[in-house]
Structures are given as structure tokens and as C-alpha cells.
Amino acid sequence: MATMDARRRSGPSGAYTAPSHLFHVGDAVNVRRSYLHAAATGVYHVVATLPPSEGQFQYRVRSEAERYERVVSQDRLEAVAGERQGALARKPLS
């Protein structure tokens, strides 16, 4: 009960924020390879965000080195350093 009373006295500690995708359409990413999942090396671009599967957000990504898209879980993706990300990648700079 003491914990609940402390929360009431301090007011709202902040609104709950649901987990969300770390990457957005247009982001440049690297796909981590594993012994189960071979992937071409190089930069991939996020084509679409997908709903979670088995607790992980999913993405559809495409590489210039491949003719098809891959579905990859968020834990296998890394942001590419030096590439413009998200909304900046889609908007021309003025």
C-alpha cells in the first residue's frame, strides 16, 4: 500500500508508452547474419513495417544486391552509420 500512496502523492509519473518500431520506411539498415539466416552483405532499406511476431517487430527490407524483399525481425537489424534515417531520408533538404 505504501507504494500506491507514494504514486498518488507524486502525481502521474508519466504516461505509458507502448513499444514501437525502431526503424521506419526508408531507413538504411544492416542485417545481422546468423547460421540460420544467410543474407547478402551491404545496406538494406526498410520497405514496410510489419506487426510483431513472437514478441519482435518485423520489417520488410530490400537490398540492391537482391531481386526480392526479406522479412526480418527487429533484433537482426542495425542502423547504418552516416545514412539519413526516417523522415529525413524521404524529405528533400532545402
Percent of the chain with pLDDT over 70: 72
Phi and psi at residue 80, to the nearest 5°: -90, 120
Is the pLDDT assigned to residue 82 strictly greater than 80? no
Span 22-38, pLDDT tens digits: 899 999 999 988 777 77
C-alpha cell at 86: 526516417
Say if CB 40 and CB 66 are below 8 A apart.
yes
Is the pLDDT assigned to residue 94 strictly greater than 50? no
User: CB-based burial of residue 22 (10 Å sphere; 0-12 exposed, 13-18 middle, 19+ buried)?
Assistant: middle
Q: How far apart are CA 33 and CA 77, in angstroms?
A: 10
Per-domain residue ranges for the chain?
A: 19-83
Q: Of 2.30.30, 2.60.40, 2.20.200, 1.10.1060, which CATH number belongs to 19-83?
A: 2.30.30
Q: How confident is the model at residue 19 (pLDDT cuts 50, 70, 90)?
A: confident
Residues 6+ apart with CB under 8 A from 39: 31, 33, 63, 70, 72
Span 35-77, pLDDT tens digits: 777 778 889 999 999 999 988 999 999 998 888 999 999 999 9
